[in-house]
Amino acid sequence: MKRAGCLRAVPLFFLLALGLVGCDQLAKLGLEPPAAKKAAPAVREASVEPGKLMTAGEKFNFYRWLVKEMQEQILGRPATDNAQINNWAGVLAQQGSLEGVYHGFVLSTDYAGLEKGRADLKALRFFSSEMAALEFPLLPATDPKVITASEGYAKAHMEDSLFTLKRLLGERILEASVKEKGDVERLANWYAPLAAKWSKVGIPLGAEQRLRTDEAFHFRWATDNNLGLVQWELLNRAHRIMNHLGGVSAIPAAAVAPAPIPAGK
């Protein structure tokens, strides 16, 4: 990891010229990066920027697709209001945060109107176990602390609605992601196991590559993308799974994303 960190700090054309040169050799050549630049790069937070090579029109189409997917999976129904979709897409196009748009949906009066009734037991079990796992990310599910926490969440929220549980789980995901955002690899290490685990549930996730269950794939994807995209990939999985377990049928925005949300190497 030390070697890789060193190589990442060197410009690409230097790497092409030097090949797999070690950090000690770089120091001898006078190419050792300053100490201040050795720290792992911070996570890019610029909204959900999909790619530098896309035209403005292509990016806006991507933002529209993303907003539609968010609205459908969060509210559990088809997104048909083009004016609203365009408005939220405009927010993202102006570098608005994914978290801000997400809160625009889950904290709306429209969403509050859905927080009725009592969640199905299967949805409550998933919510409780994942809230506990997010609270203790370094412990296995069999650890007594995780088990106790899961039981506590189930007891505290057994009367809550499906949409209340979705909102609470979404907030926990956002809180946890922000804690890891200071380091690209740390965020990717936190994200990859969750993405892989939730991909194993066996339900449609809106893109074929989201169904991949190897952590290495999701780790590489996360290191290539910004915080907003990483956040939505987990929020998307959480809402889709909870919808499925709660009997909510949400129409997918598209079979294939018009931009590299599911991309990876």
Per-residue pLDDT averaged across 30-58, rounded? 63
What pLDDT, in 10s, does the model give residues 88-100? 999 999 999 999 9
* Rounded mean pLDDT, 226-231: 94
The pair of structure tokens assigned to 207 is 């893109």
Instruction: Please state the domain extents for the chain.
Output: 2-37, 43-265
User: What is the Cα–Cα distance from 222 to 177, expressed in whole angstroms?
Assistant: 12
Burial class (CB in 10 A: 0-12, 13-18, 19+), 5: middle
Q: Provide the percentage of residues in the chain whose pLDDT is more than 70.
A: 75
Checking if the pLDDT of 106 tops 80, the result is yes
Per-residue pLDDT tens over the stretch 157-181: 999 999 999 999 999 999 999 999 8
The string of DSSP letters for the chain reads -HHHHHHHTS-HHHHHHH-S--HHHHHHTT-PPPGGG-SPPPPP-STT---TTS-HHHHHHHHHHHHHHHHHHHHTS----HHHHHHHHHHHHTT--HHHHHHHHHTSHHHHTT--S---HHHHHHHHHHHHHHHSTTS-TTSHHHHHHHHHHHHHTTTS-HHHHHHHHHHHHHHHHHHTTT-HHHHHHHHHHHHHHHHTT-S--SSGGGG---HHHHHHHHHTS-HHHHHHHHHHHHHHHHHHHTT-----S-SS-SSSTT---
pTM, full prediction? 0.80
